[in-house]
Amino acid sequence: MKTWIAGAVAALSLAGAAQAQDEVTLQLKWVTQAQFAGYYVAKDKGFYEEENLDVTIKPGGPDIAPEQVIAAGGADVITTWMAAGLAARERGVPLVNIAQPFKTGGLQVNCLKSAGIETPEDFPGHIMGVWFYGNEYPFYAWMASLGIETDGADENGVSVIKQAFSADPLIQGQADCISTMTYNEYGQVLDAGITEDELVTFNYLEMGFGMLEDGLYVLEENLEDPEFRDKMVRFVRASMKGWKYAEENPAEAAQIVLDNDETGAQTLEHQEYMMGEVAKLTEGSDGTLDPADYEQTVKTLLSAVSAENPAITKEPEGAWTHDITDEALK
């Protein structure tokens, strides 16, 4: 009888432990792909479970703005680029960067040499494909520094077309230069038969106009809750463990991403390519934001001449913290 009671108590204790897992909802910036491999790996390999977390990962898409989702209470934490995070903060959504898994960025410009472009001084008179929705700020900051007009009104300026999130404008001859990510659209250009020798590539970071890309953001008021802060410490610790595992096991990470893609739109070959390139961006990061990288992002955003929709108009305050990563790394 005592044995049965002891067993029942143990079973109830295990059930209670399972129910005690803290729930966390993560909203991604874009669709399920290796850009977010670390989170899927952390969930698949049980790293979140080890931290007593039950994590729900919500894919993003062209009609989903993570900043709006978290403001409406649809997520506890989001991935987004700092430009969008700081813009949202200035407009009343008090986002705070709590971790920066991406140490460097993959945003670049690819141009056809056959269009007569070798250096930035060759841009005037050409058509440039530019991503908007917060991704245009490095471009406008760069053009402003070069003194190049962006309205295409004369031969001393460039004509800007709003580029969809694909490499089609370059492939189909609609633009001389386009925006690409090292881990995605650049591969599309190469897959289309355009060789590296036919391209000239400009990396925004190397040009001095880089922005911090995929970081983790929460609402400032939530950080005042000790229980929420503790959840985020555990979430960041497990997520970074997922990222390091993905870096060291790219093929397995790509397969995990594919297994989590409910749309069936992704291919293993492309996810393996993407994972290899993404690993270069997370390499060396323990999740801690580098203040110098933050300052470069702010400088870029403040110098971007975009009359339509400036990202920020003043220096942000309180937009990031090391508190979570410091505790996670102990």
- pLDDT tens, 169-191? 999 999 999 999 999 999 999 99
Q: Which of 207, 235, 263 is the last residue of a domain?
A: 207
Both 66 and 151 in one domain: the answer is no
- For the chain, the straight-line distance linking the first and the last C-alpha, in angstroms and rounded, comes to 45
Q: Are residues 97 and 125 in the same domain?
A: no
Radius of gyration of the chain (CA): 22
Determine the pLDDT at residue 152.
72
Q: What does the alpha-carbon distance between residue 326 and residue 316 come to, in Å, rounded to a whole number? A: 22
- The arithmetic mean of pLDDT across residues 247-258, rounded, is 98
Whether 139 maps to a domain, the answer reads yes
pLDDT for the residue 104:
93
Residues 185 and 119 in one domain: yes
Per-residue 3-state assignment (H helix, E strand, C coil) for 108-121: EEEEEHHHCCCCHH
Mean pLDDT (whole number) for 200-223: 94
In this structure, the answer to whether residues 96 and 231 fall within a common structural domain is yes
Chosen domain end from 207, 227, 261: 207
Asked whether residue 305 is domain-assigned, the answer is yes
Q: How confident is the model at residue 2 (pLDDT cuts 50, 70, 90)?
A: very low
Domain range for 237 is 17-103+212-328
Asked if residue 261 belongs to a domain, the reply is: yes
Separation between Cα atoms, residue 6 and residue 12, nearest integer Å: 10
Q: Are 123 and 81 within one domain?
A: no
Q: Are residues 232 and 296 in the same domain?
A: yes
User: Both 305 and 216 in a single domain?
Assistant: yes
220 and 97 part of one domain? yes
**Do 69 and 75 meet the contact criterion of CB atoms below 8 Å apart?**
yes
- Within a domain: 281: yes
Residue 121 is predicted with a pLDDT of 94
Q: For residues 218-225, give the mean pLDDT.
A: 98
Per-residue pLDDT of 34-88, as tens digits, reads: 999 999 999 999 999 999 999 999 999 988 999 999 999 999 999 999 999 999 9
Q: Which of 11-20, 99-108, 118-127 has the lowest mean pLDDT?
A: 11-20
Q: Do residue 234 and residue 297 come from a single domain?
A: yes
**Residue 214, SS3?**
coil
CATH number of the domain enclosing 67: 3.40.190.10
At 230-243, the pLDDT tens digits run: 999 999 999 999 99
- More confident site: 164 or 49: 49
Q: What is the mean pLDDT of residues 115-140?
A: 91
The answer on 113 and 93 residing in a single domain is no
- 147 shares a domain with 82: no
Report the Cα 110 to chain-centroid distance in Å.
20
Total structural domains within the chain: 2
Tell me: pLDDT of 25 over 60.
yes
Identify each DSSP E strand in 163-210 by its residue range: 177-181, 199-203
**Reported confidence tier of residue 6, pLDDT bands at 50, 70, 90:** very low
Please check the confidence at residue 15 and state whether its pLDDT lies above 80.
Answer: no
Q: What is the pLDDT of residue 49?
A: 98
pLDDT tens, residue by residue, 108-123: 999 999 999 999 999 9
Do 74 and 141 belong together in one domain? no
